[in-house]
Structure formats: C-alpha cells, structure tokens
Structure 1
Amino acid sequence: MTAPNYDSELDARGLFCPEPVMMLHNRINDVEPGRVLRVVATDPSTTRDIPRFCQFLGHELVSEQEQGGEYIYLIRRGEA
C-alpha cells in the first residue's frame, strides 16, 4: 500500500509545544480546501495536539505515524 499524496508540507522538526500547532494554524490557510498538507514534527505532544486541532477546526486527519522519532501527519483541509 502506498502512502497518500500530499500537496504541500510543513516542517516543524525541532519545535516544541505550542509552536508546531501555531505554525500549522497559519500554514493550513495557504492550502486550498480538499488539498492535503503533510506535517513533520519531533515533539511528542503533537500526537495529542494535531488530532484535536483537526477535530475542532473541521480538517480531516488522513493519517498519522511515527517514524524514527518523527511524527508525520497528513491533513486534508476542510471547507472552513
């Protein structure tokens, strides 16, 4: 199975709470509704914060995984 495609990327490696989500909040606005943003982070708190961000703001968390100490998220921007 291949990983879903994405349209743009946010590199939040080396940043700590709340910076990754603050950057995500700004960056998601640059993505057109229905398009996918890939987020790469190293802060474990993103495993809690990014799903909540998506839930509260109406974005779809397409996938999340940990790979070699990095947390990788694919987020489909909602209509809001």
Structure 2
Amino acid sequence: MTVPEFDAELDARGLFCPEPVMMLHNRINDVEPGHLLRVVATDPSTTRDIPRFCQFLGHELVKEEEQGGEFVFLIRRGEA
C-alpha cells in the first residue's frame, strides 16, 4: 500500500471560470495548514487563476502540470 502524496483532493473537471477557484477557496479551508490539496481541472484559465490565488492568499503552489488535457495542481495550505 502506497502513501498518497496529498491529504485532500478537489475535482473541478468540467467547470469553467470562476467556479474552480470559488470551489478551491472553500475546499482549502478544510485542509490543515501545511497539508497538501490536489486540484484537478480542465479549464485552461486555472493555469493563471490558481497560481494567483495561492500567491494572494499565502498558499504554496508545490506542483503544477498538465496530464492528458487535465491541469493538476498540488497546493500546500498556508498558515492564514
């Protein structure tokens, strides 16, 4: 059995701006500070919006990649 590389996940596939970031804003509050949230989205605007969200609210964007038309983000929740 492998240990997951994240603590929680948000599936925002099929949603368009501003829904993925609105959902992220709510979901990140369910994650303990320092823990990791994995976000999967299909809207290309998330590649702009999610990094800005993290920068503005003090979360760390640990990883960002595209996998077969899906955008995958790994976010470490900040202390605030």
Asked whether the two chains share a fold, i.e. TM above 0.5, the reply is yes
| 2:79 is the alignment partner of 1:79 | yes
Q: Which residue of 2 aligns with 1:52?
A: 52
Q: Which residue of 1 aligns with 2:27?
A: 27
Q: How many residues align?
A: 77
* TM-score with structure 1 setting the length: 0.95
Which sections of structure 2, spanning at least 5 residues, go unmatched? none
1:2-41 alignment runs, 5 A limit: 5-41=5-41
The sequence identity of aligned pairs, in percent, is 87
Write out per-residue CA displacement over residues 33-72 of structure 1, whole angstroms, 9 at most, x where no aligned residue.
0000000000000000000000000000000000100000
Measure how far apart 1:23 and its partner are: 0.1
In 1, Cα distance between equivalents of 2:59 and 2:73: 12
CA distance in 2, matches of 1:68, 1:22: 24
Pairwise CA RMSD of aligned residues? 0.9
SS of corresponding position for 2:44: coil
